[in-house]
Amino acid sequence: MNGSLRTPIRRAWLLSCALLVMTALLLVAVGPALAQEGVPPQQPSALAPAGPNSAAIANVFNIVLVIAAVVFVVVEGLIVFSALRFRRKAKDTSEPVQVHGNTKAEIAWTIVPALIVVTLFVLALQTLQTLDTKPAAAAEQMTVKVIGHRFWWEYQYPDLKITTATDLVIPTGKVVNLELSSGDVIHSFWIPQLNGKTDAFPNHVNFTWIQANTPGAYLGQCAELCGPSHANMRAVVIAKTPEEFDQWVKDQQASAAQPADALAQQGQQILLAGACIGCHTIEGTAAQGKVGPNLTHIASRTSIAGGMLTNTEGNLKRWLTNPPAVKPDAVMPNLNLTQSDVSALTAYLQTLK
Ligand code: CUA
């Protein structure tokens, strides 16, 4: 008898404890969310913004999180309170008071949620407007054309006459307007710490902008399923100080280096005589293909194969030996190169700083 009477109380206690644990977990999760614009972590998080575009998104997320947390605590608190306050007392066998309808309560629980939804709608609309508006007021701006390919990103700097891939290099503190398009299917350009997901369509230019507050490497990921290697279609934005950026521009504008050592020279001959030139451009040589990434300064990049592999000798060899084995459905075919050809080509590519 005693045991059965205690059961509702025990349940209420369990519920309260569960609520406490959930609130604690929520607070632990909120901690990093509330941290403002900081140093890029290894795992990119949209909640650790590194520029004003992503800060606007993180800001609206934090406000929604706080509103949702208040609603959660109030609603669950009322449930726990009711369970404890109106539980059946010991030896009380009478029927509880029978009520039907309460106009005041019904009006309240209709109007309050409606007001909350309207608030969220207005906040989201304001944030969308911030992200959509070309920040014309900013004194310093530049434009980069971002073109999605299966499965890598191409970056063209029309004002600077630079074409590169995989690493998007930008100066800190400057608004960088991104004109997004695609050479094949729909991709989505997403650098969590710098911008919200923005689709890149074929035959249509989409717009977004980024700005990095501090130098660093900000990792990104194609966010629209675009084929078997969608997950391998990565991106990195490298923000340099304005001085370092100017130096990078000068280096990129130069024609490709001429190889000095014998192995690299042999690699250059193989490249210029082979199928490579049908797809790749190396400025200052006969290679003027436009299908694959521009290789003029490939050795200056941090990664290859659409950001999948770090740019090392071993990885270059692995890639050249059989690209589709590394990255499923890669457009670059297996050219059945001999290992000596692969070594020579790798030596040449590593001179293209
Ligand atoms: Cu490109 Cu997914």
Tens place of pLDDT per residue across the chain (353 aa):
444 545 666 766 677 677 777 777 766 665 554 444 444 445 788 889 999 999 999 999 999 999 999 999 999 999 999 999 888 888 888 888 888 889 998 999 999 999 999 999 999 999 999 888 776 666 678 999 999 999 999 999 999 999 999 999 999 989 999 999 999 999 999 999 999 999 999 999 999 999 999 999 999 999 999 999 999 999 999 999 999 999 999 999 998 888 989 999 999 999 999 889 999 999 989 999 999 999 999 999 999 999 999 999 999 999 999 999 999 999 999 999 999 999 999 999 999 99
Q: Is residue 250 part of a domain?
A: no
Q: What pLDDT is stored for residue 130 in this prediction?
A: 86
Q: Is 222 in the pocket of ligand 1 (CB under 6 A)?
A: yes
Which atom of ligand 1 lies at the shortest distance from residue 148's CA?
1
Compute the distance from residue 164 Cα to the ligand 1 centre, in Å.
18
Nearest by Cα to 212 from 265, 284, 142, 291:
142
Q: Is 327 in the pocket of ligand 1 (CB under 6 A)?
A: no
Compute the distance from residue 222 Cα to the ligand 1 centre, in Å.
4
Compute the distance from residue 327 Cα to the ligand 1 centre, in Å.
13
Could you tell me if 86 and 139 are in contact, meaning their C-beta atoms sit under 8 angstroms apart? no
Helices 103-132 and 52-85: angle between axes, nearest 10 degrees: 170
Q: Is residue 98 part of a domain?
A: no
On whether both 295 and 221 belong to a single domain, the answer is: no
On whether both 19 and 72 belong to a single domain, the answer is: yes
Q: What pLDDT is stored for residue 94 in this prediction?
A: 85
Which atom of ligand 1 lies at the shortest distance from residue 226's CA?
2
Measure the CA–CA gap between 324 and 335, rounded to whole angstroms: 10
Q: Is 230 in the pocket of ligand 1 (CB under 6 A)?
A: yes
Q: Is residue 248 part of a domain?
A: no
Q: What pLDDT is stored for residue 33 in this prediction?
A: 47
At residue 321, what is the residue type? Answer: T
Report how many domains make up the chain: 3
Compute the distance from residue 161 Cα to the ligand 1 centre, in Å.
26
Q: Is residue 93 part of a domain?
A: no
On whether both 126 and 172 belong to a single domain, the answer is: no
On whether both 120 and 167 belong to a single domain, the answer is: no
On whether both 22 and 110 belong to a single domain, the answer is: yes
Compute the distance from residue 193 Cα to the ligand 1 centre, in Å.
18
Which atom of ligand 1 lies at the shortest distance from residue 222's CA?
2
Could you tell me if 145 and 155 are in contact, meaning their C-beta atoms sit under 8 angstroms apart? yes
On whether both 124 and 35 belong to a single domain, the answer is: yes
Structure-block tokens of residue 198: 């923005």
Q: Which residue has the tokens 């990885």?
A: 315
Residues in Cβ contact with 292 at an 8 Å cutoff, skipping those fewer than 6 apart: 279, 280, 331, 332
Q: Is residue 251 part of a domain?
A: no
Compute the distance from residue 133 Cα to the ligand 1 centre, in Å.
25
Q: How many CB atoms lie within 10 A of CB 126?
A: 12
Which atom of ligand 1 lies at the shortest distance from residue 224's CA?
2
Which atom of ligand 1 lies at the shortest distance from residue 230's CA?
2
Q: What pLDDT is stored for residue 95 in this prediction?
A: 84
Q: Is 238 in the pocket of ligand 1 (CB under 6 A)?
A: no
Structure-block tokens of residue 235: 């991106």
Q: Is 224 in the pocket of ligand 1 (CB under 6 A)?
A: yes
Task: Provide the edge-to-edge strand list for the sheet that holds 216-221.
Answer: 167-171, 234-240, 216-221
CATH for 228: 2.60.40.420
Q: DSSP per residue over 309-351, as a string? A: EES-HHHHHHHHH-HHHHSTT-SS------HHHHHHHHHHHTT
Q: Is 148 in the pocket of ligand 1 (CB under 6 A)?
A: yes
Q: Is 226 in the pocket of ligand 1 (CB under 6 A)?
A: yes
Q: Is residue 118 part of a domain?
A: yes
Q: What pLDDT is stored for residue 11 in this prediction?
A: 67
Q: Is residue 97 part of a domain?
A: no
Structure-block tokens of residue 30: 């909120």
On whether both 189 and 306 belong to a single domain, the answer is: no
On whether both 236 and 345 belong to a single domain, the answer is: no
Question: What domain range includes position 199?
Answer: 141-241
Enclosing H/E stretch for 147: strand 141-149
Which atom of ligand 1 lies at the shortest distance from residue 225's CA?
2
On whether both 331 and 236 belong to a single domain, the answer is: no
State which of 114, 132, 150 marks the end of a domain.
132
Q: Is 106 helix (H, G, I), strand (E, B) or coil?
A: helix
Statement: the pTM of the whole predicted model exceeds 0.95: no
Structure-block tokens of residue 119: 């608030």
Structure-block tokens of residue 181: 């398009």
Q: What pLDDT is stored for residue 342 in this prediction?
A: 95
Could you tell me if 323 and 341 are in contact, meaning their C-beta atoms sit under 8 angstroms apart? no
Q: What pLDDT is stored for residue 1 in this prediction?
A: 41
On whether both 162 and 234 belong to a single domain, the answer is: yes
On whether both 197 and 308 belong to a single domain, the answer is: no
Q: What pLDDT is stored for residue 7 in this prediction?
A: 64
On whether both 127 and 147 belong to a single domain, the answer is: no
Compute the distance from residue 151 Cα to the ligand 1 centre, in Å.
6
- Determine which residue's CA is closest to atom 1 belonging to ligand 1: 187
Q: Is residue 94 part of a domain?
A: no
Which atom of ligand 1 lies at the shortest distance from residue 223's CA?
2
